[in-house]
Chains A and B, each alone.
Chain A
Amino acid sequence: DQQVKQNSPSLSVQEGRISILNCDYTNSMFDYFLWYKKYPAEGPTFLISISSIKDKNEDGRFTVFLNKSAKHLSLHIVPSQPGDSAVYFCAASAQMIKAAGNKLTFGGGTRVLVKP
């Protein structure tokens, strides 16, 4: 049972344009969401996060939108740069459940290629 899904395995975008990555979740206990970026042979690195009490969080070129009723979040990268080419993972956590211990449930990832 995949609780976090990224339905687009890959995305190709021209440099300077917007990249939009989507993520859907099924577990209504999830209340904190994160996006990670991963280069080959490296561990995931934190990009941006959002709490379920918000519907938008922005950090520079990165904006995450959360639609709780649809159980959907998206990551916008504007403008996209060649250095953004990587695999992006959406992750979710149930912060309200202390016993969950901050473990993360990840989606399958979206490979982004930004063309110069």
Chain B
Amino acid sequence: DTGVSQNPRHKITKRGQNVTFRCDPISEHNRLYWYRQTLGQGPEFLTYFQNEAQLEKSRLLSDRFSAERPKGSFSTLEIQRTEQGDSAMYLCASSPREGLYGYTFGSGTRLTVV
């Protein structure tokens, strides 16, 4: 499969629990992005990696959020001590280094915090 894969597709968790999402980008893409989309809104940028280096983090990414891309391949996004306001669709995307051609999104992980 040549697309961006995200797991799990859905996650329901109790407030205060930690959750971790995984993203497998298109193999030849060295840039990987995380976005968050809440109901009725467009996706909002959270952070991005070039290879294993995390180059930018949005102010939306509080201290409870951490993202890694240890070997420059897959990435994980962890949310600690989840809050109801964290309920959203978390989207991963990948792109080649130069330009926006081929910028591809995964199907997302929908998080519900109860």
- Give A contacts to B, CB under 8 Å: 4, 6, 9, 32, 34, 36, 41-46, 49, 89, 91, 93, 95, 99, 101-109
Contact = CB atoms under 8 A, between A and B. Distances in A.
Given A43-B91, A44-B91, A101-B48, A95 B100 contact: yes
Interface of B: 4, 6, 31, 33, 35, 40-45, 48, 50, 55-56, 91, 93, 95, 99-100, 103-108, 110
Given A36-B105, A104-B35, 13 more contacts: A41-B107, A42-B107, A42-B108, A43-B106, A44-B43, A44-B105, A49-B100, A95-B99, A101-B56, A102-B48, A104-B45, A107-B42, A109-B40
Contacts of A45: 105
5 contacts: A41-B110, A43-B4, A95-B100, A101-B50, A103-B48
Given A102-B95, A103-B56, A46 B107 contact: no
A42 B105 CA distance: 9
Interface SS of chain B = strand
A101 B55 contact: yes
Given A45-B105, A46-B103, A101-B31, A106 B44 contact: yes
A9 B56 CA distance: 30
